Structure 1
Amino acid sequence: MDPLGPTSVASTLAKKRALAAGFGTNSNAVRYLNQNFEALRAQCRSSGQLFCDPTFPAEPESLGFNELGRNSHKTRGVTWKRPTELVSNPDFIVDGATRTDICQGALGDCWLLAAIASLTMNKFVMERVVPTDQGFGDDYAGIFHFQFWQFGEWVDVVIDDRLPVKDGELLFVHSAEGREFWSALLEKAYAKVNGCYEALSGGSTTEGFEDFTGGIAENYDLNRPPSNLFQIIKKALEAGALLGCSIDITSAADSEAVTRQKLVKGHAYSLTGATEVNYRGRQEKLVRMRNPWGQVEWTGAWSDGSSEWNYVQGDCPHARSEDGEFWMSFSEFQRNYSRIEVCTLTPDAIDDNSVKHWSVSKFDGTWRRGSTAGGCRNHPYTFWTNPQFVIKLDEEDDDPDDGEVGCSFVVGLIQKNRRKLRKQGEDMHTIGFAIYEFHGQREVHLDKNFFLTHAQTARSETFINLREVSSRFKLPPGEYLIVPSTFEPHQNGDFCIRVFSEKQTETPNVSRFATFNTLRWSGHSHDFLFVVVLTGTDIKTDGFSMETCKVMVNLMDVSFTAWGAEHQGERFSLNNTIYQQLVARYSDPDMTIDFDNFVACLMRLEMMFSESDDQRRERERLNKLHCSTSRVVKNPSDFSRAETLTSVFFLRDLQEAGCPPEWLHRARPEPGEAGS
């Protein structure tokens, strides 16, 4: 889909209107695939039939496409059964959701299960994802629902409770106890959102963190940790953040290999606690870990049953059961693990008013081949075509004791819906972003010359083929330009950028041109518009309104006879903000534009551009007359587009539309380019 076309503009405006009305929040989630949980459950109870989800059927295609495909040996003999067919007395949740309810099955989604395990540590956040209005009681109808954050909005996902079973056991996630099914059903709902179960194989815990909270995740390399990492971990846990960690692998043979002290390489763990204990007269830092397998635990110092616990004075957090959870010293943790992931929650996901809330800003964008997919800075002649976003940092942090002056913020770049494309042979792009200090007009998309003459101020730590790349920065107050990109140019994709900051951040808009194509005046009929209206059958119209007729008369009033050859293939190129304002002004509530409004919009654009051209020519004439005097303002080629569109009509029309006076630009297609 063309990111600059009317369909995407209408969609963007519709989403903005919905969000402004409260839709897409966790308390008023969007119905995924337009399925209404309450209505469907009532319908099933009325009919006496258990729900069967037609959008995610109990068929091989819901399992996967390759290793879990229809003819795979892994799926041979798989059947689908409801919990009521597996155990005599199933429960949705028994005595509250806990980390021990989550045991991995035959799917490589330990990253997801580690995120789910962390989710159980925060009851408030847990209930935002796993609604409590369901179960196997009197209202049971074979239907369940879960809520996930998806790229800026919360969606309510409905599923039936038929689960894949092999040899009488659940094929994928299951509870250690056997009759508790919330985790298996949650995994199924998440598989539905991503296309199939196999699409969940392999990933980063941060992905699950964000989809369960709407928060933003950071990664810390434990080979180069910040000096205050333990304090960061403790504060994050106290603030309700979700944390995960893993051990890097050096080869395929290392994947899920178990070390001598029973740590699993390439495996995602949850970090669920951090404390200090008095050990033999000194303070010892400890962290609590959880293996989502539900077993295979660390056997080194501070493990279950180790002698170190005998010398702890005061409160002792020691646990002895074989449940996948264990303690280890912070120093051992840093030596054995490779990275840690911390997910900071959005203000609405925190129910503790004492916790410091961060400000959140969000941008959406697209990369399109030949238009807005310029690649990274290695491609200087196309890099400038990438989307550009401005943030303004006004206030410094309230941390006088940290020895640093500046504004702290975290930038996260997420590529959208890439897991769904795995069925089509596609996967994650390699993505990253650059940040530039920026002064000047905010509404101008900076061109190649700016990036050839200015060094980046900061950048993402790496370009990597994960769903999200995020980095934390501390920069002086000022305006900064964020340029997200794929590593290679000409790669299509949709993305969103979020900025979490300790202080409020201003986010002015900077966007590429959007092309509003006029009707293509071709063939022998130069009076095409009137031929369509008078004789056509494809376009239904009740005639033009008085306002449209006035606009048409005004346009024709200046020595007009017919459309000339110069109008062949003409088009208008508009800033995206103006483009969206035009759609908002002239569209109906269902985001369509009727023919009358389309013509009115078209005529007004023609009049605005004509006046702009007249003013530009007049400026050029005056400049030539005064080119040798000190009163020359500037070269005509340097005039900003805002300066060429100052007519009273232009200002009045945009004010009526509710948008600020922006700049527009008249553009003609290159030779051979279609004009319609």
Structure 2
Amino acid sequence: EEEEEEEDEPDEFLKTVLGPEEAFIEKPAVIRLQQPDILELCNRHVTCEPVIFKDTDNEYRYYDAEFPAEEQSIFMDPSNPSAAVQLAALDDKVQNIRWLRPFQISYDSLEVKLGTERPKLYPKDSQVIHPHVCMGALANSWFVGALAMLVTRPELVRKLFVGYSSPSCENCGIFTVRFYKNGKWVNVTVDDRLPATMQGNFLFSRSQKGTELWLPILEKAYAKLHGCYELLYQGSVQYALKDLTGGLPQKLKFSDPDVEARIKNGMLWKEIVQLLKSESLVGCAIQNNRGARERYMGLEPLQCYSVIDSKELDLVEIGEKMHERDSILRLLKIRNPWPKGSWTGPWSPKSDRWVEYDRVASLCGQEGNGEEGSFWMWDQDFFNLFDTLSICRIFKDPWRCTRMKGKWFKPTKSPAPHRGTAMGPPTSREPAAWLSNPQFHLFVKEKTPCVIILSQRDSRAHRDDPSWVPNSYEAGIGFAVAKMSTVVEKGARMRKSDLIAFSHFRKDRDVSLPFTLQLSPADSPYVVFPMTHEKGMAGEFFLNVWHKKEIFIRGGEVVLVDEAAGSELDEDPWEEFVPQEHEEFDPDMFGQVGSSSQRAGTTLKEEVKPTVSQAMARSERKEGGGDVFKALLTLCSELGPRLSMEERRSLASALGLDS
């Protein structure tokens, strides 16, 4: 009898984990436990439905009740799976989909000899993770491509798995993955039941070495984060890199005039070298298929490649002959993570150039066949054939991040806008209204570089909306940075040159400055104004400020200004704002910000040109002719307040007015 009474008592460990009132569960429910607790329950063979079940091999494994092995975890509309056009590769009969544990997967078709090797997340003792990836039945090359870039830095892949311990996690079938979403890191716990075909093969993405589970587990956790696998179609490499690293993603199109100019003058080459030195992620792709496949010499359009190394060699210095009439040879090392699409042109693994330039081969490690899955390209071929560069700047120590969250509110009928109202940028009709946008005060005690990123909630969070379209954002967002002293002094009279910096407005998830700000205690505090391009666009936003030295941010306070002072303006106090779809990249991304005109992303020369044209046009309209003197007088009167004293002297000297 005493033994029976003891059996009736709940397990002491279970009491500790669940609490006295939850130790016995009368009906099926999801018990929200942390991964260490679940591992302990598995190891102690504690059955706790529906989280833990006894598996067929007499081992206790984790079953994720929140993301079950059912159609709802694959399809947006489980009742109508045939509508999933992005999953067209699936069989017509949905019941053919199986959910299998890794030890149940068939590896014969993957050309993998399993032998005594058990499937595991990634090699435990080796720092190298197999870099080659394979897509499955889901059109999510954007996400798999980002993972292929990430695996060039194996430590970044390992950091995504929280509390991983091998072989405990594999034995119990539980993994916790972290993603950077909506301004913070979010943990997602999944079991290891993976969608498979009737033949027992992986249905979705996998590592080419099938026994490494990091890719299908990451893909499953990402699908759970968004709701189902189908929701992973149509995305961008930049979004995925941000979610996987929390870094600063950027995209460059070689066809953009600014980027094209930097390719010609060598600035983009220097930027790529600097990015690789800082251990940031760099990828490239051919987005626009502009000709016959033979033109690309083996490269596959619409595939994401990784740039992993660079070499700039002085051929004369190393005793080699000139290359294409140039003594400087620049090479980029590219990794191809896909089963096809390797470069076959000059400097490819089997190219005669390595024999012709044997010292170059030695310096590039190409004395043999080189590294499997990678190849070198001459920089001219690289810029001629690829057309897109994907970048993710990784912040390392001593960089740290201060994160803030806020909201834009719709304007009310009150005569004066309330604090935090989405008033948009300034206009000639309402030059002071923009000051009612949310404000964050930034205080610094030491000089520090700073990177500011403004984000809005991921549009996939609105997937329940019938009109939802992936990567579509209704609100164009942007921000401005100014000294608080300037805001207090000028208020509505502020012009663009009075700002420390301002971003472009873009209908995108993230907006950042294309350069690094340099903050000084002498100018502290600063004010950051997150804004929407259209007035009244309510919503939530996230402000991430990366910095090296300690800073303090206080949000939601309004700086006192003289709003009536803007009544004398007859034009927009700032230039016309137009939302942009793509972010620009600035060559001074790693440099300091200079004069006021440079801080605004332009040079004095660029700023004078439109002002001269506008002054001449106004002179013609008012006086009936193009009086150059009057135009210059108008130019000086309008441009003067926007220039520093040194710039004013330079302008006066150029016009012959300094005597």
Question: TM-score when scaled to structure 1?
Answer: 0.59
CA shift digits 1:183-235 (9 cap, x unpaired): 11111112222222233323333333333333323444544345443343333
CA distance 1:392–1:512, change in 2 (3 Å): closer
Q: Identity of counterpart residues, as a percentage?
A: 25
Q: Aligned equivalents of 2:382 and 2:507: distance in 1?
A: 25
The change in CA–CA distance for 1:276 and 1:102 in structure 2 (over 3 A counts) is same
- Specify which of 359, 380, 402 is matched with residue 331 of structure 1: 380
Kept in 2: contact 1:207–1:468 (CA 8 A): no
Partner in structure 2 of residue 39 of structure 1: 37
- Name the structure 1 match of 2:210: 178
Q: 1:196 and 2:228 equivalent?
A: yes
- 1:207 maps onto 2:250 in alignment: no
CA distance in 2, matches of 1:134, 1:328: 40
Q: Distance in 1 between matches of 2:478 and 2:508?
A: 13
Residue 275 of structure 2 contacts residue 281 of structure 2 at CA under 8 Å; is this kept in 1? Answer: yes
Listed as ranges, the matches of 1:374-389 within 5 Å are 374-375=423-424, 381=430, 383-389=434-440
1:317 counterpart SS class: coil
Alignment of 1:258-657 (within 5 A): 260-277=296-313, 280-281=320-321, 282-310=327-355, 311-313=357-359, 314-318=362-366, 320=369, 324-347=373-396, 357-370=398-411, 372-375=421-424, 381=430, 383-391=434-442, 409-424=450-465, 425-426=467-468, 427=470, 428-429=472-473, 430-440=475-485, 449=492, 458-461=501-504, 463-474=506-517, 477=520, 478=523, 480-501=526-547, 505=551, 507-511=553-557
- CA shift in 2, pair 1:138/1:342, >3 Å: closer
Instruction: Name the Cα RMSD after superposition.
Output: 4.0
User: What is the match of residue 242 of structure 1?
Assistant: 281
The whole-number CA distance in structure 1 between the counterparts of 2:97 and 2:182 is 33
The alignment partner of 2:514 has SS state of strand
Map 1:27-66 onto structure 2 (within 5 A).
35-45=33-43, 46=45, 47=47, 48=54, 49-65=60-76
C-alpha contact 1:205 1:244 (8 A) present in aligned 2: no
1:91 matches 2:120: yes
Q: Whole-Å Cα distance in 1 between the matches of residues 496 and 271 of structure 2?
A: 38
CA distance in 2, matches of 1:191, 1:512: 41
- Aligned residue for 1:276, secondary structure, equals strand
The amino acid across from 1:460 in the alignment is S
Deviation of 1:249 after TM superposition, in Å, equals 3.4
When the two structures are aligned, how many residues end up with a matched partner?
459
Cα 1:387/1:269, change in 2 over 3 Å: farther
Query: SS at 1:488's partner residue?
Result: coil
Q: Does the 8 Å contact 2:183/2:544 carry over to 1?
A: no
| Equivalent position amino acid for 1:188 in 2 | K
SS at match of 1:434: strand
1:43 counterpart letter in structure 2: L
**Would the aligned equivalents of 1:408 and 1:472 in 2 still touch at CA under 8 Å?**
no
SS where residue 555 of structure 2 aligns?
coil
The CA deviation string for residues 351-390 of structure 1, in whole angstroms up to 9 with x for no partner, is xxxxxx3353332222344463334557975644432234
Greater shift, 257-266 or 124-133, is seen at 257-266
Q: 1:492 to 1:134 in 2, by over 3 A?
A: farther
Q: Is the 8 A contact 1:67 1:74 kept in 2?
A: no
Contact kept in structure 2, 1:380 and 1:452, CA below 8 Å: no
Query: Any conservation in 1 of the 2:478–2:531 contact (CA below 8 Å)?
Result: yes
Distance, in Å, in 1 between the alignment partners of 2:519 and 2:341 is 47
Task: Specify which of 137, 160, 171 is matched with residue 191 of structure 2.
Answer: 160
Secondary structure of 1:440's aligned partner: helix
- In 2, the alpha carbon distance for the partners of 1:494 and 1:153 equals 14
Contact 1:218–1:470 (CA under 8 A) maintained in structure 2: no
Distance in 2 (alpha carbons) for counterparts of 1:50 and 1:255: 52
Gaps of 5+ in 1: 1-31, 351-356, 397-406, 514-676
- The answer as to whether partners of 1:463 and 1:469 remain within 8 angstroms in 2 is no
Mapped to 2, the partners of 1:68 and 1:257 lie a distance apart of 41
2:344 alignment partner AA: T
The structural deviation recorded for 1:140 is 0.6
Q: Could you state the TM-score of these two structures normalised by the residue count of structure 2?
A: 0.60
1:6-44 CA-to-partner distances (Å, cap 9, x unmatched) read xxxxxxxxxxxxxxxxxxxxxxxxxx9954111123323
Cα distance in 1 for partners of 2:31, 2:183 equals: 17
For 1:410, give the aligned amino acid. V
Change (3 A) 1:360 1:369: same
Name the amino acid aligned to 2:215.
S
* Unaligned residue ranges in structure 2 (runs of 5+): 1-29, 48-53, 55-59, 107-113, 322-326, 412-419, 560-659
User: Within 5 A, what are the aligned runs for 1:130-149?
Assistant: 130-131=161-162, 133-135=164-166, 140-149=171-180
Other-structure match for 1:229: 268
SS at match of 1:187: helix
- Measured in 2, the distance between the counterparts of 1:268 and 1:374 equals 40
